[in-house]
Amino acid sequence: MNPAILVINKPVGITSHTVISKLRYLLGERQMGHCGTLDPMASGILPIMLGTAVKASEYLVDHDKRYTATVKLGISTDTQDTTGNVINVYSGELPGFERFAAAAKKFEGRIMQIPPMYSALKVGGIKLLNLAREGVTVERKPREITVYSCVPFVNGGEFCLDVKCSRGTYIRTLCSDIGDELGCGAVMSALDRTEVGGFTKADAIDFDDLNGLPREEILSRAIPIEKMFSQLPEARLQPFYDRLYSNGEKILLKKLRLRGEKGQLFRVYNDARGFYSLGEITEKDGNLYFRLKKLF
């Protein structure tokens, strides 16, 4: 199977692993993985890496994301969403939309966020959610995240947010923090991921439609892995240097027709394989070299 990305629109009520299991059955392939887990209560974009594209998972996870979240004011839970145990109910008059919108806008920009206990982050090698299920709460250090935009709107009488954010942002924590800012508490009652790494629902196949599609048609909707790296400059090496590079040799940069700085990544092509790897500029003893970073 050629390395590629299949974008699935996951519905509410199933796990990300369920999507993988279904695709393995339909495609008859084992080598695949997903990027950016979506909880059962969440829907939306779930990129599936096919074949050796799984090697690129770390790069897609690092991309910015966009979500639509529904917020319920007046309650707080231990999970910061409606699946958890209620720990407080506000008895006063709930804020209107204008106050909600003003509070939400305060969380735009670079902010510090404390990860929730119900998360896959590890402390001492143990996932926080496993500790939380045992009733154990541990101190978590705030982490810097970026909320590029947080746009409040009303949908069917419910308060919602359209959030563009960096990796590591917990939307349910954002909802909870907005509730704390308002003094009434809040939880996330629905979540839909609408974009990740440049992929949107326009690129996606609805999970519920998979059963009606033949294997060839499903694969025809797969997106070449190189689209993930379209923002990177392209590199094509002369055959002699391409062989050295492919074998893991680092090549003095000034011998190549490349320009860049230490750490710069390139999409590497050759006539036989097309796009086949990521290359990186490295430095040693004051000299710049070009070497293979990831082979697909």
3-state secondary structure of 2: coil
Q: Which two tokens stand for residue 189?
A: 């009652």
DSSP alpha helix (H) spans, 163-210: 171-182
pLDDT reported for residue 113: 95
Region 250-270 average pLDDT: 93
User: Poorest-confidence range of 32-46, 48-62, 229-243, 263-277?
Assistant: 48-62
pLDDT range class, residue 194, cuts 50, 70, 90: very high
Q: Is the pLDDT of residue 59 over 90?
A: no
If 0-12 CB within 10 Å is exposed, 13-18 middle and 19+ buried, where does residue 43 land? buried
Region 113-129 average pLDDT: 79
| Chain segment 204-214, per-residue pLDDT in tens | 999 999 988 99
Q: Which two tokens stand for residue 64?
A: 């910015």
| Chain segment 86-107, per-residue pLDDT in tens | 999 999 999 999 999 999 999 9
- Could you confirm whether 39 is annotated as catalytic? yes
User: CA-to-CA distance for 105 and 107, rounded, in angstroms?
Assistant: 5
Q: Is the pLDDT of residue 112 over 90?
A: yes
Contact 6, 222 (CB under 8 A): yes
**Structural domains of the chain, with CATH:** 4-62+198-228 (3.30.2350.10), 65-196 (3.30.2350.10), 232-295 (2.30.130.10)
3-state secondary structure of 199: strand
Backbone angles phi, psi at 73, to 5 degrees: -85, 155
Q: Is the pLDDT of residue 228 over 90?
A: no
pTM, 2 dp: 0.87
Looking at 39, 64, 78, 162, which residue is catalytic?
A: 39
